[in-house]
Amino acid sequence: MPDMLRLYLDQMFNIRIADALRTEGHDVLRASEIGQARADDKEVLHKAIADNRILVTLDEHFGDWVILPLSRHSGVIRIKVNPTTSEKVVRILLPFLRSHTQEEFKDHLVILSVYKAKWILTAF
């Protein structure tokens, strides 16, 4: 069994993805479940930081330092899949999470696609 990760799913992720992650043993919150269904990116990020959770998103603004600079945080995973379906997200996210610990994500943006994971240190 992999280490349990504390994850915060951005608004665009549905319950099927959360359920798949929970089945793997992860502690998962969805933005839409806790009143952040219409929150802006900054509010979502602040909630993930406050709860010491890795933010999982499809939003390209995460990593665009002009729009939303990242500094100290528990980690951000930006998933890039096309077309974006729950099945495709689960198919690339679950195996990736199995090989990492919570601490590895600290202050990193990970851009995760079908073929690779690009790790970017965001705090200096």
Rg over CA atoms, the chain: 13
Q: What is the arithmetic mean of pLDDT over 13-30?
A: 96
Tokens read off for 45: 């990020």
Residue carrying structure tokens 């608004």: 11
Q: What are the CA-CA distances from residue 78 to residues 43, 58, 100 (Å)? A: 16, 5, 15
Percent pLDDT > 90 in the chain is 61
List, for residues 53-99, the tens digit of each pLDDT value: 999 999 877 655 544 556 778 999 999 998 889 999 999 999 999 99
* pLDDT at residue 90, rounded to an integer: 96
The distance of Cα 118 from the centroid of its chain, to the nearest Å, equals 14
Tokens read off for 83: 């077309």
Order of strands, edge to edge, in the sheet holding 6-9?
Answer: 27-30, 6-9, 54-57, 76-80, 108-113, 117-121
Does residue 32 register a pLDDT over 90?
A: no
Q: What is the pTM of this model?
A: 0.90
Greater confidence (80 vs 123) lies with 80
Domain spans, the chain: 6-121
